[in-house]
Amino acid sequence: AQSVTQPDIHITVSEGASLELRCNYSYGATPYLFWYVQSPGQGLQLLLKYFSGDTLVQGIKGFEAEFKRSQSSFNLRKPSVHWSDAAEYFCAVDTGRRALTFGSGTRLQVQP
């Protein structure tokens, strides 16, 4: 069965610092890959997605992610974090059955 691992439960960064959130998946082929963000009390909002093609994908709010097949990874990055980026971030995969399998999430805290 497919699985998604987000090894960092909680990350704290200073405002203006760069950010990288890690995501690894376990699946025999290349799945569709997603990053979602969830603010407290809210639903999940899509940041970006990878279906095929260019392995570096751009998303909303200045986020990007790079798909690395050799590492089965899809890490999320942002060059300069804003206080409003504080939220929980979820990596997810769709292996073709159309439903998403989510990682356990990474909670981002931003220090002023």
Partner 1 sequence: DAGVIQSPRHEVTEMGQEVTLRCKPISGHDYLFWYRQTMMRGLELLIYFNNNVPIDDSGMPEDRFSAKMPNASFSTLKIQPSEPRDSAVYFCASKTSNTEAFFGQGTRLTVV
Strand partners, 25: 4
Of 75, 86, 103, 107, which is closest to residue 9 (Cα–Cα)?
A: 107
In whole angstroms, the minimum distance from the beta carbon of 38 to partner 1 comes to 9
In whole angstroms, the minimum distance from the beta carbon of 46 to partner 1 comes to 5
CB-nearer residue toward partner 1: 15 or 44: 44
CB-nearer residue toward partner 1: 76 or 103: 103
In whole angstroms, the minimum distance from the beta carbon of 90 to partner 1 comes to 7
Q: Which H helix or E strand runs over 83?
A: none
- The encoded tokens of residue 15 equal 């405002």
- The site for partner 1 (CB under 8 A) is made up of 34, 36, 42-46, 49, 90, 97-105
CB proximity list for 5: less than 8 A, separation 6 or greater: 23, 24, 25, 26, 103, 104
CB-nearer residue toward partner 1: 1 or 29: 1
